[in-house]
Structure 1
Amino acid sequence: MTGRRFILAVDQSTSATKALLFDDEAKPVHRVTIEHKQYYPGPGLVEHDSAEILAKTREAIARVVTEATTSDDRVEALAITNQRETVLAWDIETGEPVGRAMVWQDERGTPLCDELRAAGHDPDVHDRTGLLLDTYFSASKVAWLLKNNPDAARRLAAGTLAVGTVDAWLIWNLTGRQVFATDFTNACRTLLFNVHTLKWDPALLKLFGVTGVRLPEVRSSDASFGSAQIPEIGGSIPIVGVCGDSHAALFGQGAFDAGECKATFGTGSSVMLNIGRKPLTPPPGVVLSIGWGADGAVEYVFEGNIHSTGDTVRWVRDNLGLFSDYDEAEKRAAALDDTGGVYVIPAFNGLGAPHWAHGIRASIVGLSRASGADHIVRAALESIAYQIDDLIGRMKENKSVTMRNLRVDGGPTRNRFLMQFLSDIIRSPVHVASIEEISAKGVALFAGLSTGLYRDRAHLRDLAVFAESFEPEIETKKRDKLVGGWAAALKTVLSSASGHE
């Protein structure tokens, strides 16, 4: 009997660690999910236990292999995708973590970012990194650690303080402390990496006061990262393929070429547009990132993050009590012709890309005596499409790249009303992913290409399967009227914001 060949993908996310086996048709055949604890030691502080993340990753790997493979099967490679911007510190000689991991949501770096912005450093940082000077990214968190943790400062002075993103921590430990490396996609989200020179930037290290920390070697997303020692399965697995989660999702969606775009829906939404092999200047409110490094080349993306999409609909359910489950919300929204002029502006934590308005509150605009609960439900769903359209519209201001279509993934994509409305508003086809774990699939594709399990990108296109596709249906005049109403409602709310930038 001939054994099966698999790629094992680890998806280490904000809330849990998943391990999945993908077969030679890039289909998931088994998955294991293990949650980890969230720590909130103070206002604006969000942490994870570095040792727990490593232990849960080892457990997930061992379980998925022992539960779903036989001695005849072969796991060709282990690929890793992970939450981005979250940063960890440890002693490179002893392996001891220095404090907990500081999660991407953590805001302790805000004072430093405000100080640097006030001093006029934002344009230079943006030119070097493609990013905004914001605590969302890793650099200010590392600076805070060095200033506030005496143990970190002591190890820095001794030259043993290692700093890295989640992937680097996992690789270093899984390889028996033999490989200290990360990939382009994770490095480029730290505010310490120059997306033009493709190196750690000495000027940025000095600016943030983190010169002297030990940083990982940066490799391509499809590179080899050593061999993972897994005693629980009695052997080792080559680590091939490492990629940040949003970037892996873009690749997993088959968006290999310039002009192909994806949106991941969750609490908020990440929108990425492949712009090709040149680092084009991003329009205001949009950032430039490295999409991935593969086949000896680097490809770039425009990216924007929206704060509240799925969270908006959850708020209408949980706080307003206007529906009990998401299927009901879809049916009630679809039963109406429109919202009756009602618009929900979901600025529960301000507005993200492309507006970056921090000093405003969420609002419901356009209520009348004729408005009912169903109008608010529909308006909440529609707000997701309008925000995506605002962001894509801003990306389109750079005429060097033309968006071809939008590929979507995440829980809200199961709402057919929303997907059709999204297609109508952005005036583009919308293709819904067939599996939920699209980031894991994306990094598995990198590994499969490198190991020969998958032939080439043309082969991957043949393997790509969409659950459903939607085409624009409404007339342009009607679409423009709806978008105009949203823009007017948004302007009303923004005009009241002292913090709008």
Structure 2
Amino acid sequence: MKKYVLAIDAGTTSSRAIIFDKKGNQVCISQFEFTQIFPKESWVEHDPIEIWKTQLKAIHDVVKKSKINIDEIDSIGITNQRETTVIWNKNTGDPVYNAIVWQDRRTSSICEDLKKNGYEKIFYDKTGLVLDAYFSGTKIKWILDSDNKIQESAEKGDLLFGTIDSWLIWNLTNKKHHVTDYTNASRTLLFNIHLLQWDNELLSILNVPKTLLPKVLDSSQKVGLIDRSILNAEIPICGIAGDQQAALFGQMCIKPGDVKNTYGTGCFCMMNTGNKAVKSNNKMLTTIAWKIKDETVYALEGSVFIGGALVQWLRDQLNIIKESSEIEALAKTVEDSGGVTFISALSGLGAPYWNPNATGAIMGITRGTEKGHI
């Protein structure tokens, strides 16, 4: 009897696998961090192979720890960090470059050039997004422009692009399916959220060959079967959604006006706007919340790039803590922040400012300021 669903949560700092029963109760979880790579100031990368290996490890580990029978797993759902860009060779399976993470700011100059050339309104009207290094389109352009051989391979049709969901599905199905869903496609700067298709004009502006792009599927439908070598069973993948859209749905924000706020690696406020793509007067993003069969649901979103990622920064760069789990106990050593204010613009500022050049600041420090205040 099919009793369980396996959820893959491919996050920004770790790969998780979670088993739920049919009532939505969490049965077991496994989580493994992967390396954050900072080649230059404001650059953030991941190794796609490490993401795949840690995700595979999490899948095997959660099944082992749960002690359930593989035959009891009904299906697999995938949620993922959005915008992070992977380009790989479809013949060898090798990435041509590290994954460029959504927090990465290296393409800010490309975005500024596009604005100067009058393209800002075209992109916003078609995609609902502002021209910012946050999104996948300029990351794809940067990778293709970085090496003539990469550009040539792309033009020959030898390369594939995907956000992390696409990369994982391609590997889980042993290269059989190059797909994404509407929520992830809507974060690329290449997808027309009104016509629900890749936009040829935007592809032309960024010089991105259409052959790179995955097929776009509903957020809930049968995608394909995982290869038998993964779990010795061919389990269907039946759902894909970007992490914030998945959170919106998971928090039962299914009616227009319903809002959720997520505090994770970054912080994201999202409101269901129903079947209408509502334009914001305050530089919020218009995006696809989900598409299931004939219904497309839209959302407005405000994005803060650095939230919980500060905990890693305090651990790895400042050595204020040794383990992330120590942060709560440290905060409890003081009654309040002691007047200290922390502007977490370590990767620029997101909504509503969209300032890629903004940097972080800690203010209100006195002789009495302690680690706990920060």
Query: Contact 1:312–1:346 at 8 Å: present in 2 too?
Result: no
Tell me the residue number matched to 1:125: 123
Task: Give the counterpart of 2:136 among 133, 138, 148.
Answer: 138
Give SS of 2:235's match: strand
Distance in structure 2 (CA, Å) of the matches to 1:319 and 1:48 = 21
Q: Residue in 1 aligned with 2:323?
A: none
Instruction: Please point out which of 163, 166, 187 is paired with 1:165.
Output: 163
CA contact (8 A) 1:62 1:230 kept: no
| Separation (CA, whole Å) in 2 of partners of 1:144 and 1:102 | 10
Greater shift in the superposed pair: 230-239 or 324-333: 324-333
Distance in 1 (alpha carbons) for counterparts of 2:160 and 2:22: 37
**Secondary structure of 2:212 counterpart:** coil
**Equivalent residue, structure 1, for 2:7:** 9
* 1:71–1:257 CA distance, 2 compared to 1 (3 A): same
1:362 matched residue in structure 2: 361
Q: How does 1:183-332 map to 2 (within 5 A)?
A: 183-310=181-308, 326=328, 329=331, 332=334
CA contact (8 A) 1:98 1:151 kept: no
Give the deviation of 1:146 after TM superposition: 1.2
1:112 aligns with 2:114: no
**Contact between 2:172 and 2:230, CA under 8 Å: does it hold in 1?**
no
Which consecutive residues of structure 2, in runs of 5 or more, have no partner in the other structure?
A: 321-325
Measure the CA separation in 1 of the matches of 2:314 and 2:31.
29
Separation in 1 of the partners of 2:319 and 2:227?
50
Counterpart of 1:287 in structure 2: which amino acid? L
How far did residue 150 of structure 1 move? Answer: 3.0
CA contact (8 A) 2:70 2:233 kept: no
Give the CA RMSD over aligned residues.
2.9
**Residues 345, 283 of structure 1: CA spacing in aligned structure 2 closer, same or farther, 3 A cutoff?**
farther
What's the offset of the Cα at 1:42?
2.6
Counterparts of 1:331 and 1:53, CA distance in 2: 36
User: The residue matched to 2:162 in structure 1 has which SS?
Assistant: strand
Answer with 99-108 or 132-141: which moved more: 99-108
1:61, CA displacement in angstroms? Answer: 1.8
Number of aligned residue pairs: give it: 365
CA contact (8 A) 1:83 1:245 kept: yes
Alignment-mate amino acid for residue 30 of structure 2: V
Q: Contact conserved, 1:5 with 1:73, CA < 8 A, in 2?
A: no
1:101 CA displacement: 1.5
Q: Distance in 2 between matches of 1:105 and 1:57?
A: 21
In structure 2, the partner of 1:440 is none
Alpha-carbon offset, residue 197 of structure 1: 0.5
Post-superposition CA distance 1:121-174 (Å, at most 9, x none): 111111111111011111111111111123312212322221111111111221
- Determine which structure has the larger helix proportion and give its number: 1
Matches of 1:355 and 1:157, distance apart in 2: 36
Shift of 1:362: 2.8
Query: In the alignment, which of 165, 168, 176 is matched to residue 178 of structure 1?
Result: 176
The residue aligned with 1:31 is 29
Per-residue displacement from partner, 1:277-308 (whole Å, max 9, x unpaired)? 11011222211110111243111111111245
* Residue 18 of structure 1, aligned match among 8, 16, 19: 16
Contact 1:171/1:180, CA 8 A, preserved across alignment:
yes
Residue deviations 1:321-362 (CA, integer Å, cap 9, x gap) = 8xx85356468547x9xx8xx573615445432233544663
1:344 aligns with 2:346: no
In the other structure, the counterpart of 1:391 is none
SS of the equivalent of 2:153 reads: helix
State the shift of 1:87 in Å: 0.9
For residue 63 of structure 1, what is the amino acid of its counterpart?
D
Distance 2:19 2:70 in 1: 15
The 1:102/1:275 distance shift into structure 2, 3 A limit, reads same
| Partner in structure 2 of residue 61 of structure 1 | 59
Q: From the superposition, tell whether residues 328 and 83 of structure 1 become closer, same or farther in structure 2 (CA, over 3 Å).
A: closer
Q: 1:301–1:40: structure 2 CA closer, same or farther, 3 Å change rule? A: same
**1:66–1:233 Cα contact (<8 Å) kept:** no
CA 1:135–1:80: 2 relative to 1, 3 Å: same
1:314 and 1:58, CA in 2 relative to 1: closer, same or farther beyond 3 A?
closer
Given the superposition, is the C-alpha separation of residues 362 and 143 from structure 1 closer, same or farther in structure 2, using an over 3 Å criterion? same
SS at match of 2:227: strand
Q: Distance in 2 between matches of 1:35 and 1:250?
A: 24
Cα 1:141–1:65, aligned 2, differ >3 Å: closer, same or farther?
same
| Displacement of 1:222 | 0.4
SS in 2 for 1:283: coil
- After superposition, the Cα gap between the structure-2 partners of 1:267 and 1:11, relative to the gap in structure 1 and judged at 3 Å, is closer
Q: What secondary structure is seen at the aligned counterpart in 1 of 2:226? A: strand
Q: Calculate percent identity across the aligned residue pairs.
A: 36
1:107: how far off?
A: 2.2
**Residue 223 of structure 1: CA displacement?**
1.4
**Alpha-carbon distance in 2 for matches of 1:363, 1:110:** 24
Question: Shift in Å at residue 114 of structure 1?
Answer: 1.2
Residue 76 of structure 1 is matched in structure 2 by: 74
Instruction: Give me the whole-angstrom Cα distance separating, in 2, the residues matched to 1:80 and 1:4.
Output: 18
Letter in 2 for 1:65: V
Q: Quote the Cα distance in structure 2 between the aligned partners of 1:262 and 1:195.
A: 21
Deviations 1:420-476 (A, max 9, x none): xxxxxxxxxxxxxxxxxxxxxxxxxxxxxxxxxxxxxxxxxxxxxxxxxxxxxxxxx
8 Å contact from structure 1 (residues 156, 212) kept in 2: no
Q: Quote the offset at 1:11 in angstroms.
A: 0.6
**Cα distance change of structure 1 residues 8 and 272 upon mapping to structure 2, 3 Å threshold:** same
Structure 1 residues 202 and 72, CA gap change in structure 2 (3 angstroms): closer
Distance 1:156 1:74, change over 3 A: same
Taking the TM superposition and a 5 Å limit, the aligned residue runs for 1:364-379 are 364=363, 377=373
Cα gap change, 1:60 to 1:165, in 2 (>3 Å): same
